[in-house]
Structure 1
Amino acid sequence: MLTSRPVRILAATGLVLTLGLAGCKHENDDKVVGDSTTATPEAALAGAHWLEGQLRDGVLYNEQYKTDDYSTTVDLAYAVRAVDPSSKALSAIATALAGGIDAYAKPGKDVYSGSLAKLVSFAEDQGQDPRAFGGQDLVAQLEARTADGGATAGRISDKSSYGDYANSFGQAWAVRGLTLAGSKEATAARDFLLEQQCSEGFFRLYFAAPNAADQTCDSAGAKPEPVDTTALAYVLLHDLAEHDDKLATALDRGIDYIKGQQAADGSFSGGSGDAIVPNSNSTGLAGWALHLAGEDAAAAKAATWVRQHQVGACDGPMAKDAGAIAFDDAAMSGAAKGVTKKAAYQWRLSTAQSLPSLLAVPTDAAEAPCPDAS
């Protein structure tokens, strides 16, 4: 039974199912987003081009902290694949991620379950074997970080001297990766993720304490949260819900929650405490999910807001950053000197998470005005 909303599988122009290798196909690879004859919006292609230009040997490098940023590189890969499935950058990214497993997911004696989950999903969607990706069995390693029984059955966790920071973002990636890999842990991982959905329809970000007898969202009396977690869960899992009624029902409830959080100008707010503001990350993820769910009007409004925060053809220092998407109004107005080393991480993540929402952008949506360099 299919999910009640029109599921749009991103095969020719989107996220799920394949990331590049034609030799490995899932059963729904022949489906496309909407009308396959519709050209990809120029705004989306410009963003993909900017992201590709940020890579260094297939990986993003954080010049401020002098380290490779593998996590945002995965986000970038999915965003670029959504817009330009033939991108040559995807092969280079796969090589870089395969060589960076230990640095990213297993530095020293630590093991980060969310990072493993992203790598398992990436390998599967790239058409590679996650049980031999970079010479390692990532599925077995992720299964080892997935609880086997009791109230926490299916819950992922980190092994780290810094503490356990596993959350529903990583859980959603784990559900995708373990399901596509045919893992025996997949159903439990899915069930635990669904326990993080509150009656209002949103998925909470943070889990209960590991020793809590009740691990569900409603038991904790969680307050409604920004849409980011709920939107990511839909983006990653909507195709899996085609043959999973339980998951389909949960994701439909999530979309209803997302629709209810949209502001009149099309934006969505995210953050915490006093820092909850309209931003491209939240608006982009929500818009992407709405587009995939066939909620065209709401998706177009979100895409229009994102487009209003995308750098256009500016002169001066911003010329090299055409296509990049600012986090919010303040980031855009403060970028007259271009994207600096200090600000690069925010711009890259904002662009990666919001770019696919531009697949729904109306043709008359305006880009951001160029910031005043005077």
Structure 2
Amino acid sequence: MHHRIRPIRTAAVALSTVALGAGVLAAPPATADTSSALRSAKAGINTDSTPSTVAADWITDELANGLMVGSNGPDFGLTLDTGLALHSVPGHESGVAAINAAFKPRVDEYVGDGTKESYAGALGKAAAFARAAGESPIDYGGKNLVARLEERTANVPADPAAEPQAAAIAGRIFDKSADGNYANVVGQSYAVRELSLARSTEAAAARDFLLKQQCASGYFRLNFEKANVPNQSCTEGAPGSSSDTDATALAMINLIESHDNSPAVKAALDKASAWMIDKQRNSGALRSSGDGAQINTNTTALGGYALGLMRQSDAAQKAALWVRKNQPVDKYKCRTALTKDTGAVAFRKDRSKAAKATGIPAEARDEWRRATAQAILGLQFAPASKDRFRIESVRKQARAGERVQFRVYGLAPGESACMQVKGDFRRVKGKTKGTKIVRKLQLPTGNQRRVGLVKTSDDEARTTILVRN
């Protein structure tokens, strides 16, 4: 999960002198409505809102006075990831509002004070959240985030031929910091999104520089070249130009959300989408990039969400199904130590398996929060069941102690549920194809009509069977 705005580096980037300036026009009104791109992408497909809703419920409960707080204090980046995720889930406006109320007075702690410290990627992400919260990014707690972002975006020189290096880095974002420059492609994509939506005169150059970071195969790399290198473009096979799945997904998402419909952006999105589909496994999962690359819910959810916004619904639903299988729902008689954290998404299957016995360890809670914040996006495309939710007993009566078949219909693909009668239970999971699940449950003693139940995270169905000793 290395796509955060300011990743740790061992050395500062060598910077050339950059002419910086402002050119913001009047920003269009901010809106707290759910992304129009998401609404239109989901319009023609049958999705299940349950997994994203229960994940959003869980992560809302993880907020402490509107902020995500880790061992080192407030984590503003994760807080904004959470806010942007909650913004995508209907009914979670209060969580977005709580984050906004807590973050707005402390925004400079994340983006810098605007004089000695100013972090470009963080400014773009903060502006994206402000807009999602229904605030104006040009007046967010009295701060003009867009103007500050423009100050951190390299200008196009008056005479590109006379200033070839200035022309090469035109539109590139730079941090201003005593700790060095950590601006990267992810931050550039947030900058493009917000400069475009603010109708900034610097939006086109920022967009063009972002598109330079896409390699011929269609992926985006994570880091820029040093600022004094003449060729600022991604060069396939060259050092520093390796593929990055998370950066590619976020570049796609932010380009789509920028509402830039230029031919260049459309072509870039088509190439990135094709690359992402090629990298997706048959299971629906995607592998992260860089050191410690592995298949995980974080990368899979981001990639799936990007593909969903690109109307690649089959690929998006496959990714969402894989993520949902890593969202344990062990309720009622199927309770485990994870039951109190229903809705949380594990980074990987092994984390879920271990936590069923012990619960989420304190030192692992941060990982579950990060995984869930991104998973909420991908789960927007979770496929729904094609059948009515119900349970049936194959027999109307049976003897106590017998094992009797029960049939469950209508679980969504990958949806966890608990089948139970008094004294016995089975964990079941919705099938990818077909909806009928058949399991045997042992009937309890006692002459009585017994209830067979199937319970999901947010619903239940029941049937009855007559039991005789």
Quickly name the TM-score band, shorter chain normalised: 0.7 to 0.9
How much has 1:126 moved relative to structure 2?
A: 2.8
Give the counterpart letter for 1:244 in structure 2.
S
**Matched residue pairs, number?**
348
Q: 1:337 aligns with which of 358, 373, 384?
A: 358
Summarize the Cα distance change of 1:286–1:276 in structure 2 as closer, same or farther, 3 Å threshold.
Answer: same
Q: Rg bigger for which structure?
A: 2
Give the counterpart letter for 2:266 in structure 1.
A
Provide the alpha-carbon RMSD of the alignment.
2.7
Summarize the Cα distance change of 1:85–1:158 in structure 2 as closer, same or farther, 3 Å threshold.
Answer: farther
Whole-Å Cα distance in 1 between the matches of residues 45 and 273 of structure 2? 26
TM-score by length of 2: 0.69
Give the counterpart letter for 1:90 in structure 2.
V
Q: Contact 1:124–1:181 at 8 Å: present in 2 too? A: no
Whether 1:365 and 2:419 are equivalent positions in the alignment is: no
| Cα deviations by residue, 1:284-304 (Å, 9 ceiling, x for unpaired) | 001111111111221121111
Whole-Å Cα distance in 1 between the matches of residues 178 and 142 of structure 2? 26
Instruction: Report the counterpart of residue 302 of structure 1 in structure 2.
Output: 319
| Cα deviations by residue, 1:159-185 (Å, 9 ceiling, x for unpaired) | 222221111110000001111112111
Summarize the Cα distance change of 1:39–1:259 in structure 2 as closer, same or farther, 3 Å threshold.
Answer: closer
Q: 1:317 aligns with which of 334, 337, 347?
A: 337
Whole-Å Cα distance in 2 between the matches of residues 131 and 258 of structure 1? 34
Q: Contact 1:200–1:224 at 8 Å: present in 2 too? A: no
Whole-Å Cα distance in 2 between the matches of residues 70 and 232 of structure 1? 18
How much has 1:276 moved relative to structure 2?
A: 1.2
Summarize the Cα distance change of 1:235–1:18 in structure 2 as closer, same or farther, 3 Å threshold.
Answer: farther
Q: Contact 1:19–1:85 at 8 Å: present in 2 too? A: no
| Cα deviations by residue, 1:5-36 (Å, 9 ceiling, x for unpaired) | xxxxxxxxxxxx999646xx99x689534338
Give the counterpart letter for 1:122 in structure 2.
F
Instruction: Report the counterpart of residue 129 of structure 1 in structure 2.
Output: 136
Whether 1:43 and 2:30 are equivalent positions in the alignment is: no
How much has 1:241 moved relative to structure 2?
A: 4.8
Summarize the Cα distance change of 1:265–1:170 in structure 2 as closer, same or farther, 3 Å threshold.
Answer: same
Instruction: Report the counterpart of residue 253 of structure 1 in structure 2.
Output: 271
Instruction: Report the counterpart of residue 60 of structure 1 in structure 2.
Output: 68
Instruction: Report the counterpart of residue 192 of structure 2 in structure 1.
Output: 175
Whether 1:140 and 2:147 are equivalent positions in the alignment is: yes
Instruction: Report the counterpart of residue 231 of structure 1 in structure 2.
Output: 249
Q: Contact 1:48–1:323 at 8 Å: present in 2 too? A: yes
Equivalences for 1:153-164 in 2 at 5 Å?
Answer: 153-164=170-181
Give the counterpart letter for 1:231 in structure 2.
A
- The worse-fitting range, judged by mean Cα deviation, of 254-263 and 29-38 is 29-38
- The worse-fitting range, judged by mean Cα deviation, of 172-181 and 110-119 is 110-119
Q: Contact 1:47–1:323 at 8 Å: present in 2 too? A: yes
Whether 1:354 and 2:354 are equivalent positions in the alignment is: no
Which structure 1 residue ranges, 5 or more long, are not aligned?
1-16
Whole-Å Cα distance in 1 between the matches of residues 38 and 350 of structure 2? 42
Summarize the Cα distance change of 1:320–1:54 in structure 2 as closer, same or farther, 3 Å threshold.
Answer: same
Q: Which has the higher contact order (CA 8 A, sep 6+)?
A: 1
| Cα deviations by residue, 1:242-283 (Å, 9 ceiling, x for unpaired) | 63221111011100000010112111011423x111001110
How much has 1:319 moved relative to structure 2?
A: 1.7
**Is the strand fraction higher in 1 or 2?**
2
Q: 1:327 aligns with which of 329, 334, 347?
A: 347
How much has 1:223 moved relative to structure 2?
A: 5.0
Q: Contact 1:226–1:269 at 8 Å: present in 2 too? A: no
3-state SS of 2:337 partner: helix
3-state SS of 2:68 partner: strand
How much has 1:311 moved relative to structure 2?
A: 2.1
Same amino acid, percent of matched pairs? 34
Whole-Å Cα distance in 1 between the matches of residues 45 and 315 of structure 2? 22
| Cα deviations by residue, 1:189-238 (Å, 9 ceiling, x for unpaired) | 10110000000100100000111111000277255424111111112221
TM-score by length of 1: 0.85
Give the counterpart letter for 2:230 in structure 1.
A
| Cα deviations by residue, 1:308-365 (Å, 9 ceiling, x for unpaired) | 1112135243122111111112322232322233112211111111212112223221
3-state SS of 1:163 partner: coil
Q: Contact 2:169–2:227 at 8 Å: present in 1 too? A: yes
Q: Contact 1:41–1:361 at 8 Å: present in 2 too? A: yes
| Cα deviations by residue, 1:75-108 (Å, 9 ceiling, x for unpaired) | 1112112122552111111122211212111169
Instruction: Report the counterpart of residue 79 of structure 1 in structure 2.
Output: 85
Whole-Å Cα distance in 2 between the matches of residues 29 and 282 of structure 1? 20
Q: 2:286 aligns with which of 268, 285, 289?
A: 268
3-state SS of 1:197 partner: coil
- The worse-fitting range, judged by mean Cα deviation, of 180-189 and 309-318 is 309-318
Which structure 2 residue ranges, 5 or more long, are not aligned?
1-27, 157-165, 384-411, 418-426, 429-469
Give the counterpart letter for 2:52 in structure 1.
A
